[in-house]
Chains A and B, each alone.
Chain A
Amino acid sequence: MSVGVASGRHLQALLGSLGRLIRSPLASFLTLLVIALALALPAALKLFVTNAQAATGNFASAVDVSVYLKTDVPLAKAQQLTQAAQQRPDVATVTLISADKGLEDFRTYSGFGDALAALKENPLPHVLHVRPRAAASSAAGLDSLRRYFAAWPEVDLVQVDSEWVMRFNAILEVLQRLLIIAAVLLGIGVLAIIGNTIRLEIQARRAEIEVTKLVGGSNAFVRRPFLYTGVLYGLGGALLAWGILTVVVLVLRDSVATLARLYGSRYLLEGLTPDDIGVLLGVGLVLGWLGAWIAAARHLRSIEPRA
């Protein structure tokens, strides 16, 4: 069989499958809708997680760890510790705020300057402001940094700022796991939907399959239109899911922008990236093909011509 003839066969099978879908538009559409919703749900969750991460990206990098040294630690030792902290791979920058600098800042910004003047000596300790790298800004990363500094004998207190960001990041992590679980479960659901649809179609076309086998149609020939039907369902469902998500993003965009403005941000809701769309369509295509293949493998073999 030449390549031209082979691709002609495939085109024919594809058009035949497409024609059958179009001939029963309501049933096909309902099936497509169910597949689309099953694909759209994990994709929407993915959008939520990426948007939440992007929206809080600025806050997350602002998570500082303040390391308060004991008041009897001399400045030279504090500088030495700053150097040591700087060596850690999960630390971006370390700023040393000496006791004198701290007092000066306090005098300038707090409005208690006169009261401070009454103090005989500086009651403030030296403080290290540690800014972790973005990768270490997760709840677990921050916690390990906190425990690391707390173990130093010179350290009096370690305070992780913006605890809510940590909690938020932890929630995002939960959501990310949930996203994977939902994607797997709904993927299996899509397989089942497509497999069942193909099974029903195989039963409906039993006579045709028998005759085709009778005149020498191979299993591959008989299977082909069903595989194309599965691929069309999967791909069509993914396209519909893309459409649904596009509408959802458009509807939410204004209210999210308003919400962001109230928090003093100019954040805009992000839609699906070309990569996301590629993954969505690819997953739809593969699930459609696989679902149809499983159904065809199970049910086509049992249909043998009877004279």
Chain B
Amino acid sequence: MIVFDRVSKRYANGREALTNVSFSIHNGEMVFLTGRSGAGKSTVLKLIALLERPTRGAVLVQGRNTQSLKARHIAAFRRGIGVVFQDHKLLADRPVYDNVALPLAVAATPLKEIDKRVRAALDQVGLLGKERALPLELSVGEQQRVGIARAVVSKPPLLIADEPTGNLDPDLSLEVMRLFRRFQDVGVTVVVATHDLHIVREFGERVITLENGALQGDPGDTLPSVVATR
């Protein structure tokens, strides 16, 4: 599903965010990406969502090398990935319904189907009935769940989340993580970047730890040979 093969990433300002990182994540897995702030967690997620491209090495997502993906195929590529952000990235001037419907609208889904799926997604995150509300009228936890509903509404096979519990109290954090677990239960690959080790221990899923842009310890899974011999 996701393969990082000796990936390094140096930003334009000269900061080396990742150094020679290799790991792989299988279909249907739920993986926690941990490490201190600035360890490179966000960079890993950006490389997966093709918000950045690696400086060296290869990133394969769903069998495709992100390096060789042409600009006009990026949009379609991103439609296969649900992304949850710490700051939600909701459109403040649009009601909840429009925010959640956006990934379906860009994929030219029929309106009837959009309506059905938006309600289903809001139901999954427990926000049915808040369709007409504006994001700022909701609590922080509710806003985060709107962001999650938007990430899963198009039923992407891959869900990535960057510090989704960063602004939430422990109870809400657990609730959000259980939500992610439920998506994993129906076959979605879930990658969650978090520095909340308490939650990581609670869930007992595989953990990939980064420190100063390098993998720490055993990533828990070796590279498939096909990639290692490239």
Contacts and interface: CB of A to CB of B under 8 A. Distances in A.
Contacts of A217: 75, 102, 106
Interface in B92-138: 102-103, 105-108, 110-111
B79 A5 contact: no
A215 B106 contact: yes
What band does the interface of chain B fall in when counting residues whose beta carbon is under 8 Å from A? 20 to 34
Interface stretch (A42-50, A82-90, A113-121, A205-213): A205-213
B91 A207 contact: yes
B51 A218 contact: no
B91 A216 contact: no
A211 B106 contact: no
Given A306-B51, A307-B42, A307-B51, A214 B89 contact: yes
Interface string A286-307: 0000000000000000001111
Given A8-B111, A208-B91, A215 B45 contact: no
A8 B83 CA distance: 27
A140 to B, nearest CB: 55
B174 to A, nearest CB: 24
A214 B91 contact: no
A219 interface: yes
B25 to A, nearest CB: 18
Closest 4 CB pairs of A and B: A216-B79, A217-B106, A218-B75, A216-B78
B226 interface: no
Interface string A201-231: 0000001101111111111010000000000
Nearest to B76: A216
B108 A6 contact: yes
B107 to A, nearest CB: 7
A1 interface: yes
A221 B106 contact: yes
B42 A215 contact: no
Contacts of B45: 307
Nearest to A217: B106
B51 A211 contact: no
Contacts of B2: none
Contacts of A307: 42, 45-46, 49, 51, 83, 85, 162
